[in-house]
């Protein structure tokens, strides 16, 4: 992510032409098969009259780049033996507002020269940043058919830039040399990894745990942003056993974010800045998940000798409110393909699922015999779901809101990703979670009706489900909620609800 910096792009060149239209956002479910490319000149930063400049103010920066993963390997371009590459580039929204358009300069193998590649998709990110996706699917790209010698010689060079009129502003936020470019080779596994320290947004609020047992907070903890925990080590002084003259102990800060119950842990020791016989402290940084409303903290001191001590506010944990920003989070590029499966034979979630429609019947057979009882749906967001993304849980806040028809209150359940389908993330709701007739569940507060089926009196309760991603709802076409009609024999035994 980029810093919020003052944009002073108007001084780049007195010869700039009038503003050109910004690159439009492209809605799509996956990478385009062919990215628009044109022949282009090499960067000429510092050459008089060239109109090329180096950006070191976080207006454009390569987030990451590499081969497109597919299954256990990597995707190839159509039927050729060349790998398909992609890159994600972050651009300050203010630069786009001034009329700058992002492009990616690429050269590979025996290519005669550089070519400029246009983006295939974009999405809004936090901190006034837009992320653009570029597909590299042409030119002399390396592939799985190359020999070891061929792979050792293969190079894919690239560098993103902003263009407006005749001027080009090249990304030099991760590379210092004005004439250097990013190079993907076998030495770096043909990839440029994401580095969150590059153009990071301003640090979040600090929770300071002092030696005098005071706890102070410098600002609100916000969902989707970072929070710093500064812990004085003298609060837990006991577990200090060493080994061979070296320190062998640790103090770990543990954060629990609710209501999704996501737990994170980080050391509060700076081993790199310490002597061999002791450690010194360093602040720990936690990323607050989107949709969190509360944060709990505790600290765990351990050493090689088996000593364990806790600083946990006398087992109550230190608790902080989280300011929610779900309503302001961007909508995903696409969400849909809602399906359902009630199956005895399925071996994994969503296997054999068919289109949901708007209403699903969930009866005694499903309750007693089905192994898989899922409502499934998919979400696509460029640069987020189209790769193996360890930060997906942080970037997409996915949940189901459920209420029985006729009830005054409902419930909310956060949903983890179950797998990926192409470039989409797939989520599932286990419909048993809302089955009011499951044995042992109390019917209090659940409105029911009695109907006759095949001469038998049946109780029915209808659950209305709304799926949301970053606070944006997914509903059936022409309806306000997906409905699941649960039914059970009225004569079936019930547990006492008193």
Q: Which of 141, 160, 192 is the last residue of a domain?
A: 192
- Domain co-membership, 119 together with 155: yes
- For 300-310, the pLDDT digits (tens) are 999 988 999 99
Q: Is the pLDDT of residue 128 over 80?
A: no
Q: Which of 192, 224, 258 is the last residue of a domain?
A: 192
Q: Which of 325, 353, 370 is the last residue of a domain?
A: 325
Which phi and psi (to 5°) does residue 414 adopt? Answer: -80, 140
356 within domain boundaries: yes
- Domain co-membership, 312 together with 351: no
Q: Is the pLDDT of residue 446 over 80?
A: yes
d(CA 167, CA 169): 7
- Domain co-membership, 214 together with 179: no
Domain of 238 in residue numbering reads as 206-325
pLDDT of residue 325: 57
Least confident range from 43-52, 163-172, 407-416: namely 43-52
Q: Is the pLDDT of residue 274 over 80?
A: no
Evaluated on CA atoms 433, 435, 440, 445, the torsion sign reads positive
- Domain co-membership, 346 together with 280: no
Q: Model pTM?
A: 0.42
Q: 50: pLDDT confidence band, cut at 50, 70 and 90?
A: low
pLDDT of residue 51: 75
**Nearest CA to 337 among 236, 461, 421?**
421
- Domain co-membership, 355 together with 483: yes
- Looking at the DSSP assignment, which residues form a beta bridge with residue 91? 60, 130
Mean predicted confidence (pLDDT) in 265-294? 79
**Nearest CA to 475 among 393, 383, 391, 401?**
401
d(CA 484, CA 255): 36
- Domain co-membership, 319 together with 466: no
221 within domain boundaries: yes
When comparing pLDDT for 214 and 201, which is higher?
214
The DSSP line for 395-443 is H--EEEEEEETT-S--EEEE--EEEEETTEEEEEEEGGGG-TTSTT---
- Domain co-membership, 19 together with 156: yes
201 within domain boundaries: no
- Domain co-membership, 166 together with 29: yes
4 within domain boundaries: no
Residue 480 sits in a domain whose CATH number is: 2.60.40
Q: 449: pLDDT confidence band, cut at 50, 70 and 90?
A: very high
Q: Is the pLDDT of residue 30 over 60?
A: no
200 within domain boundaries: no
When comparing pLDDT for 93 and 155, which is higher?
155
495 within domain boundaries: no
Give Cβ neighbours of residue 31 (< 8 Å, ≥ 6 apart): 68, 84, 86, 120, 121, 133, 135, 386, 423
Cβ distance 62 to 181 under 8 Å?
no
- For 162-208, the pLDDT digits (tens) are 998 888 899 999 887 878 999 999 999 999 999 877 887 656 789 99
Cβ distance 311 to 236 under 8 Å?
yes
428 within domain boundaries: yes
Least confident range from 78-87, 273-282, 438-447: namely 273-282
Q: 4: pLDDT confidence band, cut at 50, 70 and 90?
A: very low
pLDDT of residue 183: 96
125 within domain boundaries: yes
- Domain co-membership, 48 together with 132: yes
Mean pLDDT taken over the chain = 83
- Domain co-membership, 57 together with 15: yes
Q: Is the pLDDT of residue 327 over 70?
A: no
Q: 36: pLDDT confidence band, cut at 50, 70 and 90?
A: low
- Domain co-membership, 484 together with 370: yes
pLDDT of residue 57: 78
- Domain co-membership, 160 together with 36: yes
Domain count, the chain: 3
Q: Is the pLDDT of residue 294 over 80?
A: yes
User: Is the previous residue joined to 259 through a cis bond, with omega within 30 degrees of 0?
Assistant: yes
Q: Is the pLDDT of residue 393 over 90?
A: no
């Amino acid at each position: 992510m980029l810093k919020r910096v003052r944009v002073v792009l108007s001084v780049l060149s007195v010869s700039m032409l009038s503003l050109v239209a910004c690159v439009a956002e492209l809605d799509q479910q996956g990478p385009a098969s062919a990215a628009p490319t044109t022949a282009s000149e090499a960067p000429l930063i510092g050459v008089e009259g060239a109109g090329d400049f180096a950006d070191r103010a976080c207006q454009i920066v390569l987030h990451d780049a590499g081969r497109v993963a597919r299954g256990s390997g990597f995707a190839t371009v159509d039927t050729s033996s060349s790998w398909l590459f992609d890159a994600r580039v972050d651009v300050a929204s203010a630069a786009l507002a001034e009329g700058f358009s992002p492009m990616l300069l690429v050269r590979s193998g025996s290519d005669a020269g550089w070519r400029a590649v246009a983006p295939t998709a974009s999405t809004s990110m936090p901190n006034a940043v837009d992320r653009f996706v570029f597909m590299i699917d042409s030119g002399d790209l390396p592939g799985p058919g190359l020999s070891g010698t061929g792979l050792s010689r293969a190079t894919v060079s690239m560098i993103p830039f902003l263009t407006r009129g005749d001027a080009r502003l090249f990304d030099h936020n991760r590379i210092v040399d004005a004439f250097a470019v990013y190079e993907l080779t076998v030495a770096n596994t043909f990839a440029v990894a994401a580095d969150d320290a590059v153009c990071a947004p301003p640090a979040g609020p600090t929770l300071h745990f002092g030696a005098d047992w005071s706890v102070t907070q410098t600002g609100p903890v916000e969902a989707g942003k970072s929070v710093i925990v500064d812990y004085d080590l003298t609060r837990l002084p006991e577990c200090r056993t060493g080994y061979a003259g070296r320190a062998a102990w640790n103090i770990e800060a543990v954060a629990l974010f609710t209501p999704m119950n996501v737990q994170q842990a980080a050391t509060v020791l700076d081993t790199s800045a310490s002597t061999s016989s002791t450690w010194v402290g360093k602040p720990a940084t936690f990323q607050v998940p989107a949709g969190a409303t509360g944060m709990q903290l505790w600290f765990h001191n351990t050493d090689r000798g088996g000593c364990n001590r806790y600083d946990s506010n006398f087992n109550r944990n230190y608790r902080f409110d989280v300011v929610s920003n779900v309503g302001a989070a961007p909508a995903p590029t696409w969400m849909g393909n809602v399906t359902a499966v009630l199956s005895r034979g399925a071996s994994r979630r969503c296997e054999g699922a068919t289109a949901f429609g708007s209403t699903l019947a969930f009866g005694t057979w499903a309750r007693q015999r089905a192994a898989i009882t899922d409502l499934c749906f998919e979400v696509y967001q460029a640069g987020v779901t189209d790769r193996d993304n360890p930060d997906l849980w942080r970037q997409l806040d996915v949940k189901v809101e459920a209420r029985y028809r006729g009830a005054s209150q409902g419930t909310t359940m956060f949903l983890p990703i179950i797998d990926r389908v192409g470039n989409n993330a797939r989520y599932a709701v286990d419909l048993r979670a809302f089955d009011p007739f499951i044995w042992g569940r109390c019917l209090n507060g659940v409105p029911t009706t009695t109907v006759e089926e095949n001469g038998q009196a049946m109780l029915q309760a209808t659950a209305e489900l709304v799926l949301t991603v970053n606070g944006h709802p997914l509903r059936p076409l022409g309806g306000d909620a997906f409905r699941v009609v649960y039914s059970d024999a009225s004569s079936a035994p019930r547990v006492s609800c008193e």
